[in-house]
Structure 1
Amino acid sequence: MKRLYFIVDHLKHTESISDDIHKAGISDWHFHVLSKDESGLYRRHVHTANIYHRNDLVHSGQRGLIFGVLFGILLLLGLHFFNIELPQYIPLIFFVMASCFGAWLGGFYGIQMNNYQLKRFEAEIDKGKYLIFIDVTRKNQQQVKALMHQYHPEAKEMGQGNTLILPFA
């Protein structure tokens, strides 16, 4: 799926866009708004971005997992190289623990950081604007763009991205 990004200046425009997007058949699962004004979005029943959209939890967790796996492999090679005699299940436990620790540490770091996909919009959000992102299929991408341009010229199109979270993007 593709993710379309739009910036809007006012909450009333954001609410209007939300209503029109829902009328077009796009559910809350595919429509999110990120803003400093969380309470205003809540009062107007506009679907806000969740923690996975705001923070870099998944992306950093994936990276941490990869580094944990690599560390686990190095640990196993070290045990093998130094010819350390252990029961067969112990090296597997070390490997799993290293992998889990890497994922945990990466997630712990990522929850403190802003989402890497949204860094380009931080200045606009800090100014009090509303970032709208809509997940669309290729089939309905042009329909959503046409709807936004026709009925909501106040929404500035900011490009598109991908809904996948890639560890080395």
Structure 2
Amino acid sequence: MKRHFYITDNLDDLEQVEQELESSGVDTPQIHILSEHDAEVKNHHLHEVEAVLKKDVVHSMEIGAVTGVIAAIVVLVVAYMAGWTESAAGWIPFIFLAVVLLGFCTWEGGLFGIQEPHYQFKRFQEALREGKHVLFVDVDTKQENTLCQVVSRHPQLQIAGIGEATPELVVEAQKKWRSFMKAMP
């Protein structure tokens, strides 16, 4: 899947675009509006980006976790190479330290990430400050033509690039969840 970004300052047009995409087979979990005017986006019944996903928490936690795994491996290797595991305590304190380091680095990564905009959205900060809105749509190769057709009917949309999409497995899970919630009495 690919993520296509578009910028506009017209929420009415975005509402029409979202309706056209959905009626053409692009599901709601694939369509998002990034804006600093969340109330207006909600009033137009558009699929907004969740507040936590506007920040780089998940990406930074992944980086922190990788750092933590490396630190944990270093601790275990040093403990083994230095012969410290031969003592009465054995491996237990070093495994505990490795787990603590992994958790701490992951947590710290999340703390750093909550202070930063999402790594894919950093390039749009100036446009967002100017009051514009970013539409991004995650499409597979079969839906690319549909997206191009819909976008071509809306000249106010400015192409803003392509990025990494939400994994298809996650999008499918979101679709199933929405279906499940609609079926609930």
TM-score, length basis structure 2? 0.82
Q: Percent identity?
A: 27
SS in 1 for 2:120: helix
Q: Aligned ranges for residues 18-57 of structure 1 at < 5 Å?
A: 18-51=18-51, 53-57=53-57
SS in 1 for 2:142: helix
The runs of 5 or more residues in structure 2 that have no matched partner are 168-185
Q: What displacement does 1:82 show?
A: 3.2
The number of residues matched between the two structures is 164
Residues 110-139 of structure 1, C-alpha deviations (whole Å, 9 max, x = no match): 111101111111111110001000000011
User: What is the root-mean-square deviation of aligned Cα atoms in Å?
Assistant: 1.7
CA contact (8 A) 2:17 2:150 kept: no
Of 101, 126, 130, which aligns to 2:129? 126
SS in 1 for 2:98: helix
- Choose 124-133 or 98-107, whichever is displaced more: 98-107
Q: What displacement does 1:88 show?
A: 3.3
Within 2, Cα distance between the matches of 1:52 and 1:134? Answer: 19
Q: CA 1:12–1:164 in 2, change beyond 3 Å: closer, same or farther?
A: closer
Q: Aligned ranges for residues 129-148 of structure 1 at < 5 Å?
A: 129-148=132-151
Could you list the structure 1 runs, at least 4 aligned residues long, displaced by more than 3 angstroms after superposition: 87-90
Within 1, Cα distance between the matches of 2:44 and 2:149? Answer: 25
Within 1, Cα distance between the matches of 2:8 and 2:138? Answer: 17
Q: Aligned ranges for residues 17-166 of structure 1 at < 5 Å?
A: 17-51=17-51, 53-84=53-84, 85=87, 86-149=89-152, 151-163=153-165
